[in-house]
Amino acid sequence: MINLNDILLLAPESFLTLAACVLLLVDLFVKPAQRSVTHYLAIAILAATGGLVLHGPGAAGGVAFGGAHVVDGVAVVLKLFVLLCVAVVFVYARPYLRDRNLFVGEFYVLCLFGALGTLFLVSAGSLVMVYLGLELLTLSSYALVALNRDSPLSSEAAIKYFVLGALASGMLLYGMSMIYGATHTLDLARIHAVAASAEHPKLLLFGVVFVVVGIAFKFGAAPFHMWLPDVYQGSPTAVTAFIGSAPKLAAFGMAYRLLESGLGGLVAHWNEMLAVLAVLSLAIGNIAAIAQSNLKRLLAYSTISHVGFLLLGLCAGTPAGYSAAMFYAISYALMAIAAFGMILLLARAGFEAEEIDDFRGLNQRAPWHAFLMSLVMFSLAGVPPLFGFYSKLVVLKAAIEADKLWLAVTAAVFAIIGMFYYLRVVKVMYFDAPADDRPMAPGADAPARWVLSVNALALLALGVYWGPLFAWCGRVFGL
């Protein structure tokens, strides 16, 4: 029985669906020279959706459609940051897309639909909604990766992403079907009740394994990370910036919904799997990143290692662990988007700025941007007083609190190894002479420049004053 309350709770998603469709239509009538209309409209849509999430009729929270759609604090935080990330991606992407004849409405519409999928995913209250949200997000992502149709690299990445993604979705679906078979329900709250009871069927455990595999794939956690480096490198950088930021928040939301809201009673079973994934991700991500010469690929491996840290928080299996993991996901999204934003800004027609060597001597050519990039790199490496340090700190704290001291020590060791490749980027910018005399003037696009400065300086500001954000993350988990 649908009532008004259900509809109101769905206000941001409904609005975004309609608005994205309208944008698709509007874009048909916009001349290529006026494509900026689409651009600004897309940002306005995201802002309006954010407003609805925060102050809309359903902002107070609740459960809609018989538990299928849950609006709680976790969902609100994740939604806001997803919308913020996508908006920032739009700002960074415009000059890049324009230089490459990719400045098309599809990019915006697909990103909006991806964001919509994320919104559903983080609010999911049943297995069906998890799957629907996820597929909406990933199908949009497949298409986005292939946005540059003429590039063989992009096409290869898209095919690879699609095939492996389909396989992972199949795994997830298979796991879900087993969970359904064991619990006779798709509702996560009712699954939670069954899983928490003492005599849960063996079949349920079997399903958990497949669900964890599906989650690991979406995160890009080792050993299910194969798609990640190729997709990051092969996609147009504007798309990489999208894939590298918002979907990580979505993956956290999905893991939280499935593992805690649904299978919370089996924490003793899945947290060991997550611990293994975390250690493997930390090891493979950090070690493989050392050998990279392409910055996008390096950031892909760095993502894998960051996912390892994030899983460390999740596998603590406590509210403190979840809030730490969410804090980590937010901080990672902000850092990743700044790093890709820098690549986007330095790129120009015929020059991708995606090799590490392209950043040589940046301090001599564009000292302000070298400074910003070094902030991002030190933050990714986790050096205080930057934001990235505190997210590592709270995750380590959660892990130690959950008696996973050895995992924390392992993570710390890999953080040292990881330090090297971030420092290498700083090294080429500050210590090396420029490779050639080409001017490395950061793109003339003023909004992108300003937003990037704010984004990178925010890493410093949040490093000095991270209390409120951390408290917010704790509050939504009842801490």
Assess 393 for contact with another protein (CB under 8 A): yes
In the numeric block, the tokens 């001017």 are attached to: 439
Nearest residue (CB) to another protein, 400 versus 458: 400
Q: What is the residue-wise DSSP string for 79-109?
A: HHHHHHHHHHHHHHHHHHHHHTT---HHHHH
Question: Shortest CA distance to 406 belongs to which of 255, 281, 276, 236?
Answer: 276
Window of 44-52, 344-352, 410-418, 439-447 that interacts with another protein by CB under 8 A: 410-418
Q: Which of 415, 448, 459, 462 is the binder for another protein (CB under 8 A)?
A: 415
Min dist. Cβ of residue 255 to another protein (A): 23
Does residue 440 interact with another protein by CB under 8 A?
Answer: no
Could you tell me which residues come within 8 angstroms of residue 148 by beta carbon, excluding any fewer than 6 positions away?
A: 100, 102, 154, 236
Q: Which of 298, 312, 426, 448 binds another protein (CB under 8 A)?
A: 426
Segment contacting another protein (CB under 8 A): 85-93, 128-136, 149-157, 420-428? 420-428
Half-sphere exposure of 318 (CA within 13 A, CB side): 15
Q: Whose Cβ is closer to another protein: residue 50's or residue 313's? A: 313
Among the listed residues 34, 61, 293, 420, the single contact to another protein using CB under 8 A: 420
DSSP E strand stretches across 157-278: none
Q: Applying CB under 8 A, does 479 fall inside the site for another protein?
A: yes
Instruction: Return d(Cα 477, Cα 415) in angstroms, integer.
Output: 27
Nearest-approach distance from CB 374 to another protein, in angstroms: 8
Contact with another protein (CB under 8 A): which of 128, 401, 435, 458? 401
- CA distances, 110 to each of 95, 106, 250 (Å): 18, 6, 16
Say whether residue 142 binds another protein (CB under 8 A). Answer: no
Q: Counting contacts by CB under 8 A, is residue 471 touching another protein?
A: yes
Q: Across-strand partners of 69?
A: 64, 124
Binding another protein by CB under 8 A: which of 92, 232, 387, 430? 430
CA-to-CA distance for 104 and 241, rounded, in angstroms? 17
The only residue of 7, 164, 287, 423 in contact with another protein, by rule CB under 8 A: 423
Structural tokens at position 103: 């400045």
**SS3 assignment, position 409:** helix
Closest to another protein by CB, 219 or 430: 430
Q: Which member of 396, 448, 452, 462 binds another protein (CB under 8 A)?
A: 396
CB 464 within 8 A of CB 385: yes
Instruction: Please tell me whether residue 467 binds another protein under the rule CB under 8 A.
Output: yes
- Quick one: 67 exposed, middle or buried, by C-beta within 10 A (0-12, 13-18, 19+)? middle
Number of CB atoms found within 10 A of residue 243's CB: 26
Q: Which H or E element spans position 326?
A: helix 319-346
Q: How far is CA 425 from the centre of its chain?
A: 22
Residue 62 engages another protein in binding (rule: CB under 8 A): no
Return the residues of window 350-389 that contact another protein according to CB under 8 A.
Answer: 363, 367, 378, 383-385, 389
Rounded CA gap, 243 and 247, in Å? Answer: 6
Contact pattern for another protein over residues 267 through 306, marking x by CB under 8 A? ----------------------------------------
Residue count, binding to another protein (CB under 8 A): 33
The pairing of strands 62-64 and 69-71 is antiparallel
Cis peptide before 229 (omega within 30 of 0): no
Residue 458 touches another protein, criterion: CB under 8 A: no
Cβ nearer to another protein, comparing 162 with 359: 359
When the beta carbons of 250 and 282 are compared against another protein, the nearer one is 282
Q: Report the interface residues with another protein, using CB under 8 A.
A: 363, 367, 378, 383-385, 389, 393-394, 396-397, 400-401, 405, 408-409, 412-413, 415-416, 419-420, 423, 426-427, 430-431, 466-467, 470-471, 474, 479
